[in-house]
Amino acid sequence: MLFPSTIAGSLPKPAWLAQPQALWAPWLLEGEALAQGKRDAVRLALFEQERAGIDIVTDGEQTRRHFVTTFIEGLEGVDFAHKRTVRIRNRYDADVPVVAGPVARRHPVYAEDARFLRAETGRRVKFTLPGPMTMVDTLHDAHYRSREKLAWAFAEILNAEAREIAAAGVDVIQFDEPAFNVYFDEVRDWGVAALERAAQGLPCTTAVHICYGYGIAANVEWKKTLGSEWRQYEATFPLLARSTIGQVSLECQNSRVPLDLIALLGDKDVLVGAIDVASERVETPEEVAATLAAAARLVAPERIQACTNCGMVPLSREVARGKLRALAAGAALARGG
């Protein structure tokens, strides 16, 4: 089937689990009620995706407050009690945890979540993890004193985690690397290699997601500085084309990315972002189909999946539901259905 549909990863959380339309909102439940609430939220996320007609579903990242730090909370060597203010992706300041010693993974972080996701749906499932470079960029490092060394340590940890997630029966593991759109020299020198280390030997499909971020003010301001054509992917895609990673998830809809850059991805599967997550306006199926048709003039149609530009967690549930339906309907339209 041409143009299977999937999402970048996250969906809004129900109002009883966390404050709506807020990034990184704290949990509104505790203890066993929180554990049950997260599982119910995953069930709802699956229901919304399946009812909309999404083919490859995720858990909507309903069990995480933040796509990077929730994973890091499960590791040793990181001090969350004494945070430091750092500049994230050269763009905005945030209070972040401190790497205070060697990082280590003493127990699985998401394996149970992956088993639950696999058990709750008959559809193909995708599980998301942060990429090594983006993890490094979300911390203050007081131990390794080297972004590259810390990235390699994280890559080994991610690989151990990903192997257990794959063993749960997931079809795709995606690493989120928005930092790849910022630090081009590091991407070339060690970023892609660290990503490959994280994905090494996995029995499932592997993917990397690279985007221009949520529609938060800092990102909107940053995008204004990028000029009329966003050519950031031009540096990274040829490197990814030569990598062991199977799929690349990227931003297209409403962005100033010249679509012809996707031709640089060689034989990779291309997850075309046909839904803008920085706008409340719900795309029409015709718009989604037009984006997919434009992509299909540049890469083989059988290598294209219909996807969102990024996660939908900052949107209202109603808008996200509309966008899910537009995505699936647009993909069906593009395949002539």
List residues near Zn ion by CB under 5 A: 211, 310
Between residues 243 and 249, which has the closer beta carbon with respect to Zn ion?
249
Between residues 207 and 310, which has the closer beta carbon with respect to Zn ion?
310
CB 77 → Zn ion: shortest distance, Å?
26
CB 58 → Zn ion: shortest distance, Å?
13
Between residues 208 and 331, which has the closer beta carbon with respect to Zn ion?
208
CB 116 → Zn ion: shortest distance, Å?
24
Residue 119 burial by Cβ neighbours in a 10 Å radius (0-12, 13-18, 19+): exposed
Residue 256, classed as helix, strand or coil, is coil
Between residues 275 and 310, which has the closer beta carbon with respect to Zn ion?
310
Residue 42 burial by Cβ neighbours in a 10 Å radius (0-12, 13-18, 19+): buried
CA angle 30, 135, 323 (to 5 degrees): 70
Tokens of 223: 């995008």
- Which amino acid does the sequence have at 40? D
Distance (Å, whole) CA 129 – CA 114: 11
CB 232 → Zn ion: shortest distance, Å?
13
CB 220 → Zn ion: shortest distance, Å?
15
Terminal Cα distance for the chain, rounded: 11
Tokens 């069906």, residue located: 332
CB 295 → Zn ion: shortest distance, Å?
18
Between residues 89 and 325, which has the closer beta carbon with respect to Zn ion?
89
Between residues 144 and 222, which has the closer beta carbon with respect to Zn ion?
222
Residue 93, classed as helix, strand or coil, is strand
Q: At what angle do helices 285-296 and 317-334 cross, to 10 degrees?
A: 50
Distance (Å, whole) CA 1 – CA 208: 22
